[in-house]
């Protein structure tokens, strides 16, 4: 279970004292179209990159706010774990990338008709961003604009 207690003492202290960024005001877009007719994007913060993409910067203070776009037809077994955090167990996602970036599952949902189609590009970030200022101002709006360009109807966000 995702409990504070699974972390080390120093991480627990951090979670307790960290100033979490409140989304305020909270935006809300209603769902107006059946999912069976919708184009769906996945956004994962598991830090996956493709072999020809630059890995995330493991040393950047406050966390690397950049993102990579993963094509919808990617074979998930080619994804490389570039996440720097050692505060979670990486073995599951290395064994099966669908655990955190479920492109195979989404394709199955397209095949079954549960969702309309899979988006052509899916943003991948490295989620351990303790200083999210640049992400809030630059990279998150850019990634969102990419999905708007691709006429994405709804997005599923998956943290690790």
Tell me the C-alpha distance between 120 and 73, whole Å.
8
Site string for another protein, 93-122 (x = CB under 8 A): x-xx-xxx-x-xxx-xx----xx-------
The residues in 31-70 that bind another protein, with binding defined as CB under 8 A, are 31, 35, 41, 43, 45-46, 63
Helix (H, G, I), strand (E, B) or coil at 129: coil
Minimal distance, residue 108 CB to another protein, in Å: 7
Q: Does 124 bind another protein (CB under 8 A)?
A: no
Q: Could you tell me which of 43, 51, 62 has the C-alpha nearest to residue 125?
A: 43
Q: Which stretch binds another protein (CB under 8 A): 53-61, 70-78, 92-100?
A: 92-100
User: Looking at beta carbons only, is 55 or 132 nearer to another protein?
Assistant: 132
Q: Count of CB atoms within 10 A of residue 17's CB? A: 7
Q: Which stretch binds another protein (CB under 8 A): 53-61, 71-79, 81-89?
A: 81-89
Q: Could you tell me which of 83, 80, 90, 85 has the C-alpha nearest to residue 53?
A: 80
**80, 24 Cβ separation under 8 angstroms:** no
Element (H, E) at 122: strand 121-125
Tell me the C-alpha distance between 82 and 101, whole Å.
13
Give residues in contact with another protein (CB under 8 A).
Answer: 1-4, 6, 15, 20-24, 26-31, 35, 41, 43, 45-46, 63, 85, 87-93, 95-96, 98-100, 102, 104-106, 108-109, 114-115, 123, 125, 127-130, 132, 135-136, 140-141, 143-145, 147-148, 152-160
């Amino acid at each position: 279970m995702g409990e504070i207690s699974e972390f080390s003492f120093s991480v627990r202290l951090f979670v307790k004292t960290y100033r979490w960024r409140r989304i305020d005001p909270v935006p809300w877009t209603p769902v107006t179209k059946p999912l069976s007719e919708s184009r769906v994007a996945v956004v994962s913060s598991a830090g996956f990159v493709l072999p020809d993409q630059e890995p995330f910067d493991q040393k950047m203070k406050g966390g690397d706010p950049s993102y990579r776009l993963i094509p919808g037809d990617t074979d998930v077994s080619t994804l490389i774990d570039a996440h720097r955090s050692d505060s979670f167990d990486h073995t599951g996602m290395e064994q099966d990338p669908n655990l955190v970036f479920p492109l195979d599952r989404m394709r199955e949902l397209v095949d079954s008709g549960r969702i309309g189609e899979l988006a052509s590009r899916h943003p991948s970030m490295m989620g351990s961003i303790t200083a999210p200022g640049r992400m809030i101002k630059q990279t998150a709006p850019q990634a969102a604009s990419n999905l708007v360009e691709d006429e994405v109807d709804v997005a599923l966000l998956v943290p690790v």
